[in-house]
Amino acid sequence: AYTAFKLQALNPDANLVVAPSDHIILQEKAFVDTLETALEFTAENDALVTLGIQPSRPDTGYGYIEVGTRSSQFLPGRGTRTGGVRSSEEAAGVATSVSSVYEVAAFREKPDLATAEQYLASGNYLWNAGIFIWRVETLLESFRKNAEDIHRILAAGAARYNTPEEQAFIDEAYPTTPSISVDYAIMEKADNVYTIPSDFGWSDLGTWASLHAESDQDEAGNVIQGENVMAYGVKDSLVRLPKGKLAVIGGLEGYIVVDEGDALLIWPKSREQEIKKITGEIQDDRYL
């Protein structure tokens, strides 16, 4: 919201792209093409757009986007509002195309494995990449409607943004704003949220499973990060050990084995969503 107010003071018609800095994007042209479509869409419509990634596996470490109907407001490249609904072919599975803009039916929290498998099989769910595109006016109006406290506090400094008085205002006002992510404050409440099904070699590397998927694997599908690992009958696993540590591992399939500091983690990759909870319990017990 703070950035949007600053940009609004410079250019009320500005579009804004919000993207994490630590994600992998392997296909840059496809990424740029998708952003251009999103920017064209938000320029023509009062819309909040989030990019959805075509899932390649039932990952439990990502949130999901449930795809709704195709937008009837816009066809990229035309610049006009026009008719159009989702076809029966599209309903069977979201088409990978930068020219497809869909309404978001719902955001889904990180699922368990069974639910993730259902999402993948349905063909109607996307990974939530946390990449957003919107006009600053649209975003600020959504803050006004859905997160009024944040909007009210930061709007009070409208005359000071991009002036020497800005920093003093922010130092005083910003700490008083509610601490909440844009997902919860805006995206899950707004009724003008859209997604573009995308495929541009994306990963956020925020989970052990995604690190395993994006790293070089041996012939058994293992990612071994360690100098002294003796693996027997180990498949589809991630093993990460500190320098000088010897490990003999046998008979594991689909596991995460990580030895860091004074803790050793051995956990099924398919149940990775449980690790955060377990780690919290351990820290509460002051073991780590």
Listed as ranges, residues in the chain with pLDDT below 50 are 75-92, 95-98, 287-288
Domains and CATH numbers, the chain: 2-203 (3.90.550.10), 208-284 (no CATH)
Task: Concatenate the DSSP letters of all residues of 172-234 into one string.
Answer: HHGGGS----HIIIIITT-S-EEEEEE-SSEE---SHHHHHHHS---TTS-EEESSEEEEES-
Spatial distance between the Cα atoms of 235 and 60, rounded to a whole number of angstroms = 19
One-letter identity of residue 173: A
Contact 134, 42 (CB under 8 A): yes
d(CA 154, CA 187): 19
The amino acid sitting at 103 is: E
The model's pLDDT over 126-150, given as tens digits with 9 standing for 90+, comes to 999 999 999 999 999 999 999 999 9
Q: Is there a contact between 131 and 20 (Cβ–Cβ < 8 Å)? A: yes
Q: At CB < 8 A and 24+ separation, what contacts does 156-161 make? A: 157/5, 158/5, 158/8, 158/9, 161/5, 161/6, 161/8, 161/9
> Could you tell me which residues come within 8 angstroms of residue 232 by beta carbon, excluding any fewer than 6 positions away?
248, 249, 250, 251
In the chain, helix, strand, coil percent, each to 5?
35, 25, 40
Q: What is the mean pLDDT of the chain?
A: 86
The angle formed by the CA atoms of residues 20, 199 and 140, to the nearest 5 degrees, is 45
**In angstroms, rounded to a whole number, what is the distance separating the alpha carbons of residues 100 and 85?**
11
Q: b/e string for 90-129 if b means 16 or more Cβ within 10 A?
A: beeebbeebebbbbbeebbebbebebbeebbeebbbbbbb
CA distance 52 to 49: 9
pLDDT value at residue 284 = 60
Angle between helices 2-10 and 148-155 (to 10 degrees): 50
Q: Rg of the chain over CA atoms, in angstroms?
A: 22
In 3D space, the residue among 106, 107, 72, 68 whose CA is nearest the CA of residue 90 turns out to be 68
What pLDDT sits at residue 78?
39
Tokens describing residue 189: 């409440």
| pLDDT at residue number 222 | 96
Q: Look at residue 213 in the predicted model and tell me its pLDDT.
A: 86
E-strand spans in 26-80? 48-53, 64-70
- Can you give the pLDDT at residue 90? 45
Percent of the chain clearing pLDDT 70 (strictly above): 88
